[in-house]
């Protein structure tokens, strides 16, 4: 798509994407140089991936959407469908921000430590980028005001990174006498940050540390079926908010 | 008077031994016509103190009974092949030495424990420099005292999971010395039950199905400088007292129920200069009292030490803790153990008076580890931002962690825990 | 008939912005859409452009109902009031981008404005480095680029220097002569006076009248559009 190409090249030349690339490169470089051990590097990067990547993606995509409002009007005055404009913006942003992540973090990680965990970190980070861009579009389409839109995006980020897990922990605490493993698997599936985190950690220390008590988790999430399940969930998580936002955008007054 | 009689007897005994030695003859067993072609036949011709020398070749024999004190020496590793028909050597006399043989294919039975070499009610047996391949049990010592098992290579057949036996099985024995053996692919690498005053040293026990070392009801033993690696469940030391564990390495014992070192009902013992790396739980303690853990390195384990509430008066001092997911975990609300002078990598304190000891105490237990000890499923939340935040908050405003589970003099720098004289 | 609007209504939440507006425009008209702020001018234009989706009513452009359709916009050139473009794209890239995405099969490009505004000299500049006036020139040039039958110009001369404004006005007049339909909103009555053939006056979402300039001037007896409008408004308030 031609539109994707132009928006993508505009984004690639933006200072923001460049600084994001540099920041990630700095983190990755520092971790790889200063830490002697593979798993330490990977765990440090996991923190970046479940915290910084979603935050930057969601905020940048929201701001980008509002800043593009007038240009989108220009595009809409052309014989181009709304769907095409929306998809092009989404694809271009995903490629630019996700590409910065893959170049700055994914590739160096795979070069220095080519193993399954590194690959999953890259896959997880890229999906979280896409998912939080989709969520950003969702909140931008649902709020006309820029400040409110950014606020909503921040709340979504906070919800998925912190509040949701807090609620799950509270639930576990209150129902510790009941077999709630299956419910927890379902609850974890409903948060893309948890899906990515568990997907990576199941290949690291978590499956062993869950021990026999976590048989449901290890048998399911730790297996290759679980890996496919995680990736399918991440795909669904990228698609659902996106199409919801697209539907809203198609009928929206601009 | 008694003393003199004893001395006379001893001299007489030695003289007899000496005279045997002079008369001792060598018998050659060989497949190429020089000498006897069967070990069993050779054994019918020996008298006490004789030496049988077996030359290269394959000897399909099993059920070899040794009831005369004899030395059996293999040249260029002759193979004694049991052809899966049963036990290969059975020793029912003391003072036997077996060396330089390949002993293989005992077969596996669910009825009795077939072994490469079994000894019973004997003493002063030396088994050294042999290779045991595909044996159910390799060496089975029952009520055998003062035995030396050294420099053997034991490799089991992991395909035979249900019927597999132990590498070196030692039951109800005193003063045995198990050293420099390499054991892999057995059920338990070394199995000790009701053994006293023995030393297990310099062994390398790896990739065994269950434990690298399985140790129960054995008081007053030592194990030194062994290397336990990648065993199904690590090392289990249970129901014993006065055990010294010195300079051993436990690593890569990783899995749902794997431990570097499982300690159950162990009292008055020492765990010194050991190296624990990449184990699910480096040390798991249950019902242990008065154990001293000192100068150990705990590196990149899931848990460095899991202390159950039933443990009391243990001392954990001058150890290094680095890169562990959890340093200390406990399920109790109060701590009756002492933590002091350890190096904790997670310590973020400062040292204004430059004495090498941090000025603020360190609490090695995190809220989340307390939580997951009581609710193991919650481990799925590990490394989430929420959990990280929770632990940080607890560090600032303590509320959940047992108040006395604290190291009041955490070290600022890593302690050099190289064993004195080991050169590393 | 190039544009036919029938009983167009639109409200945002409780606020009725367009109330049953019906009007038709033909080729060779230059329509000045006039009304105070909040009268519904912008919503009307955006409805025609398909940016605002009406609650009821129909809009027919070149005999095609624009509902769920976007191809009709091939016939339209739009110049927005505020033009903001991808910041890191150069002007040259912007032009090639719009050319690229707008299928202009067979239609010869009209690059007259690009030339007369001397834009090619700035082709290597990134859009974010350009002044508001220059971006306005870009917007104008883009709207005329594809020789559209219909031109919708939202405050075209605001922000342009007098010389450029004159160039643009000349261009508008010249295009009208080519049998095109031009819709202009502006607050500058003098400009509209010069350019327009028709006046569409909106107030509080209602279409108050749609007349030729001559009719309007004859009715009010005024020579100038500004004065004529002022007189009309005065009559209404009385």
Per-position DSSP letters for B291-356, written without gaps between them: EEEES-EEES-SEEEEE-TT-BS-EEES-EEES-SEEEEESSSS--SEEES-EETT-----TT-SS
Low-confidence ranges of chain B (pLDDT < 50): 424
What would the two tokens of residue B364 be? 């090695």
Q: Sign (positive/negative) of CA torsion B45, B50, B54, B55?
A: negative
What would the two tokens of residue B98 be? 């077996």
C173 to chain A, closest Cα gap in Å: 22
The pLDDT of residue A200 is 92
Does C86 lie at the interface with A, CB-CB under 8 angstroms? Answer: yes
Q: Are A197 and A230 in contact (CB under 8 A)?
A: no
Q: Are B316 and B335 in contact (CB under 8 A)?
A: no
C42: CATH: 3.40.50.300
Q: Given the structure tokens 């469940």, which residue do they identify?
A: B233
Please list every residue in chain B whose beta carbon sits closer than 8 Å to the beta carbon of residue A218: 256
Q: Are B274 and B250 in contact (CB under 8 A)?
A: yes
> B110-143 burial, b if ≥16 CB within 10 A, otherwise e?
eeebbbbbbbeebbbbbbbbbbbbbbbbbbbbbe
User: CB C46 to CB A254 under 8 A?
Assistant: yes
Q: Given the structure tokens 């005193």, which residue do they identify?
A: B174
Q: What is the pLDDT of residues A80-129, one digit of tens each?
A: 999 999 999 999 999 999 999 999 999 999 999 999 999 999 999 999 99
For C85, counting Cβ atoms within 10 Å of its Cβ (0-12 exposed, 13-18 middle, 19+ buried), the class is buried
Return d(Cα C71, Cα A80) in angstroms, integer: 7
B109 versus A76: the higher-pLDDT residue is: A76
Per-position DSSP letters for chain A, written without gaps between them: -HHHHHHHHHHHTSHHHHHHHHHHHHHHHHHHHH---HHHHHHHHHHIIIIIHHHHHHHHHHHHHHHTHHHHHHHHTSS--HHHHHHHHHHHHHHHHHHHHIIIIIHHHHHHS-SHHHHHHHHHHHHHHHHHHHHHHHHHHH-SSHHHHHHHHHHHHHIIIIIHHHHHHHHHHHTTTS--HHHHHHHHHT-HHHHHHHHHHTTTTHHHHHTGGGHHHHHHTTSHHHHHHHHHHHHHHHHHHHHHHHHHHHT---
The pLDDT of residue B424 is 46
Please list every residue in chain A whose beta carbon sits closer than 8 Å to the beta carbon of residue C142: 74
Cα–Cα distances (Å) from B138 to B104, B134, B191, in that order, read: 9, 8, 11
What would the two tokens of residue C50 be? 């398909």
Does B386 lie at the interface with A, CB-CB under 8 angstroms? Answer: yes
User: CB A188 to CB B383 under 8 A?
Assistant: no
Q: Given the structure tokens 């890229």, which residue do they identify?
A: A126
For A96, counting Cβ atoms within 10 Å of its Cβ (0-12 exposed, 13-18 middle, 19+ buried), the class is buried
Report which DSSP code applies to B367: H
Return d(Cα A25, Cα C3) in angstroms, integer: 55
Q: How confident is the model at residue A251 (pLDDT cuts 50, 70, 90)?
A: confident
Query: Which ipTM was obtained for this model?
Result: 0.90
Return d(Cα A192, Cα A159) in angstroms, integer: 11
The pLDDT of residue A98 is 96
What would the two tokens of residue B141 be? 């010592």
Sort strands C3-12 and B343-344 into parallel, antiparallel or unpaired.
Answer: unpaired
User: CB A79 to CB C98 under 8 A?
Assistant: no
Q: What is the pLDDT of residues A171-229, one digit of tens each?
A: 988 888 888 888 888 999 999 999 999 999 988 878 788 876 667 777 787 788 889 99
Is the pLDDT at A252 greater than 60? The verdict is: yes
What would the two tokens of residue C15 be? 């606020």
What would the two tokens of residue B289 be? 């009292």
Per-position DSSP letters for B151-174, written without gaps between them: S-EEE--TT-TTT---SEEEES-B
What would the two tokens of residue C166 be? 């004159």
Chain C, nearest residue to A13 by Cα: C88
Q: Are A100 and A17 in contact (CB under 8 A)?
A: yes
Mutation target to probe the A interface, by most A beta carbons within 10 A, among B382, B384, B385, B391 is B384
Chain A, nearest residue to B372 by Cα: A210
Does A37 lie at the interface with B, CB-CB under 8 angstroms? Answer: yes
Residue numbers of the domain that contains C16? 3-237
Cα–Cα distances (Å) from B51 to B104, B120, B150, B237, C167, in that order, read: 22, 21, 19, 39, 120
Q: Are B190 and B168 in contact (CB under 8 A)?
A: yes
Low-confidence ranges of chain C (pLDDT < 50): none
φ and ψ of B72, to 5 deg? -115, 120
Return d(Cα C115, Cα B264) in angstroms, integer: 90
For B413, counting Cβ atoms within 10 Å of its Cβ (0-12 exposed, 13-18 middle, 19+ buried), the class is exposed
C and B touch with 3+ CB pairs <8 Å, answer no
Is the pLDDT at A142 greater than 80? The verdict is: yes
Return d(Cα A223, Cα A230) in angstroms, integer: 11
Give the CA-trace dihedral at C191, C193, C197, C200, to 10 degrees.
90
User: CB A70 to CB C83 under 8 A?
Assistant: yes
Q: What is the pLDDT of residues C188-234, one digit of tens each?
A: 888 888 889 999 999 888 998 899 988 888 888 888 888 888 888 78
User: CB C85 to CB A81 under 8 A?
Assistant: no
Q: Are B56 and B28 in contact (CB under 8 A)?
A: no
The pLDDT of residue B98 is 96
- Domains of chain B (ranges; CATH) run 82-94+105-396 (2.160.20.10)
Q: Are C44 and C23 in contact (CB under 8 A)?
A: no
Nearest alpha-carbon partner for C156 in C39, C43, C45, C22:
C45
The pLDDT of residue B318 is 96
Please list every residue in chain C whose beta carbon sits closer than 8 Å to the beta carbon of residue A11: 88
Report which DSSP code applies to C199: E
What would the two tokens of residue C141 be? 């040039």
- Percentage of chain A lying above the pLDDT 70 cut: 99
Query: How many structural domains compose chain C?
Result: 1
Q: Are B214 and B188 in contact (CB under 8 A)?
A: yes
Give the E-state strand segments of B341-399 in sequence order.
343-344
- Compute the mean pLDDT over every residue in chain A, rounded to the nearest whole number: 92
Return d(Cα C18, Cα B423) in angstroms, integer: 91
A253 versus A219: the higher-pLDDT residue is: A253
Return d(Cα B356, Cα B362) in angstroms, integer: 14
Report which DSSP code applies to B196: B
Nearest alpha-carbon partner for B208 in B150, B266, B169, B151:
B169
């Amino acid at each position: 798509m031609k539109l994707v190409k132009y928006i993508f090249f505009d984004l690639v030349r933006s200072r923001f994407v460049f600084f994001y690339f540099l920041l990630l490169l700095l983190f990755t470089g520092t971790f790889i140089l200063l830490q002697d051990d593979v798993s330490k590097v990977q765990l440090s990067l996991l923190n970046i991936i479940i915290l910084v990547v979603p935050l930057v993606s969601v905020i940048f995509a929201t701001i980008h959407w509002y800043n593009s409002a007038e240009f989108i009007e220009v595009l809409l005055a052309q014989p181009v469908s709304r769907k095409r404009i929306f998809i092009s913006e989404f694809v271009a942003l995903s490629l630019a921000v996700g590409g910065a992540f893959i170049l700055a973090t994914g590739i160096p990680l795979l070069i220095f430590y080519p193993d399954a965990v590194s690959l999953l970190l890259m896959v997880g980070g890229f999906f979280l980028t896409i998912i939080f861009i989709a969520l950003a579009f969702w909140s931008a389409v649902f709020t006309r005001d820029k400040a409110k839109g950014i606020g909503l995006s921040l709340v979504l980020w906070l919800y998925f990174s912190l509040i949701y897990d807090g609620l799950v922990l509270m639930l576990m605490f209150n129902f510790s006498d009941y077999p709630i493993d299956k419910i927890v698997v379902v609850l974890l599936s409903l948060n893309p940050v948890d899906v990515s985190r568990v997907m990576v950690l199941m290949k690291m220390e978590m499956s062993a540390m869950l021990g026999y008590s976590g048989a449901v988790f290890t048998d399911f999430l730790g297996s290759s079926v679980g890996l496919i399940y995680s990736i399918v969930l991440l795909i669904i998580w990228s698609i659902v908010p996106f199409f919801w936002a697209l539907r809203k955008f198609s009928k929206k007054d601009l | 008077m008694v003393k003199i009689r004893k001395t006379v007897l001893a001299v007489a005994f030695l003289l007899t031994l000496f005279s045997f030695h002079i008369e001792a003859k060598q018998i050659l067993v060989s497949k190429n016509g020089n000498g006897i072609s069967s070990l069993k036949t050779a054994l019918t011709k020996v008298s006490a103190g004789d030496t049988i020398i077996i030359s290269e070749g394959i000897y399909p024999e099993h059920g070899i009974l040794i009831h005369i004190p004899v030395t059996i020496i293999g040249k260029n590793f002759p193979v004694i092949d049991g052809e899966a028909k049963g036990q290969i050597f059975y020793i029912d006399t003391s003072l036997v030495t077996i060396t330089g043989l390949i002993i293989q294919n005992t077969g596996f039975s669910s009825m009795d424990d077939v072994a490469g070499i079994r000894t019973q009610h004997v003493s002063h047996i030396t088994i050294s420099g042999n290779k045991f391949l595909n044996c159910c049990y390799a060496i089975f010592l029952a009520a055998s005292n003062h035995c030396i098992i050294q420099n053997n290579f034991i490799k089991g057949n992991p395909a035979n999971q249900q019927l597999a036996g132990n590498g070196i099985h030692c039951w109800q024995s005193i003063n045995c010395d198990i050293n420099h053996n390499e054991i892999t692919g057995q059920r338990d690498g070394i199995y000790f039950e009701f053994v006293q005053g023995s030393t297990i040293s310099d062994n390398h026990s790896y990739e065994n199905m269950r434990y690298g070392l399985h140790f129960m009801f054995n008081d007053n033993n030592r194990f030194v400088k062994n290397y336990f690696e990648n065993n199904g469940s690590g090392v289990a030391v249970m129901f014993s007292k006065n055990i010294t564990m010195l300079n051993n390495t436990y690593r890569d014992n990783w899995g749902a129920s794997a431990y570097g070192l499982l300690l159950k009902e162990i009292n008055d013992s020492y765990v010194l200069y050991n190296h624990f790396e990449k184990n699910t739980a480096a040390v798991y303690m249950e019902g242990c009292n008065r154990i001293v853990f000192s100068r150990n390195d705990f590196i990149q384990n899931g848990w460095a030490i899991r202390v159950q509430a039933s443990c009391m008066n243990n001392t954990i001092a001058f150890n290094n803790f680095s890169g562990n997911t959890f340093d200390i975990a406990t399920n109790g609300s109060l701590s009756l153990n002492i933590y002091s002078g350890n190096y904790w990598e997670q310590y973020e304190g400062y040292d204004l008076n430059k004495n090498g000891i941090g000025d603020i105490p360190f609490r090695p237990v995190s809220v989340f580890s307390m939580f997951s000890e009581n609710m193991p499923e919650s481990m799925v939340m590990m490394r989430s931002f929420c959990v990280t935040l929770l632990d940080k908050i607890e560090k600032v405003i303590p509320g959940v962690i047992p108040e006395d589970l604290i190291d009041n003099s955490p070290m600022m720098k890593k302690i050099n825990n190289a064993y004195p004289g080991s050169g590393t | 008939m190039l544009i036919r609007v029938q009983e167009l209504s639109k409200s945002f939440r409780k606020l009725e912005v367009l109330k049953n507006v019906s009007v038709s425009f033909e080729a060779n008209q230059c329509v000045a859409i006039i009304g105070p702020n909040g009268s519904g001018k912008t919503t009307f234009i955006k409805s025609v452009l398909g940016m605002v989706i009406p609650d009821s009513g129909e809009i027919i452009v070149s005999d095609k109902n624009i509902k769920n359709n976007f191809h009709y916009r091939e016939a339209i050139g739009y110049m927005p009031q505020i033009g903001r473009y991808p910041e890191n794209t150069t002007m040259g890239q912007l032009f090639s981008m719009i050319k690229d995405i707008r299928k202009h099969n067979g239609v010869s490009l009209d690059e007259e404005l690009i030339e007369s505004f001397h834009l090619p000299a700035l082709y290597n500049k990134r859009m974010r480095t350009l002044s508001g006036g220059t971006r306005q020139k870009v917007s104008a040039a883009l709207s005329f680029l594809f020789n559209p039958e219909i031109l919708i110009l939202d405050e075209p001369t605001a922000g342009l220097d007098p010389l450029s404004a004159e160039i643009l006005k000349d261009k508008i007049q010249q295009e009208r002569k080519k049998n095109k339909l031009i819709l202009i909103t502006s607050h500058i009555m003098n400009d509209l006076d010069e350019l327009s053939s028709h006046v569409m006056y909106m107030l509080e979402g209602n279409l108050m009248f749609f007349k030729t300039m001559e009719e309007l001037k004859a009715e009010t007896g005024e020579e100038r559009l500004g004065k004529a409008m002022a007189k009309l408004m005065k009559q209404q308030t009385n």
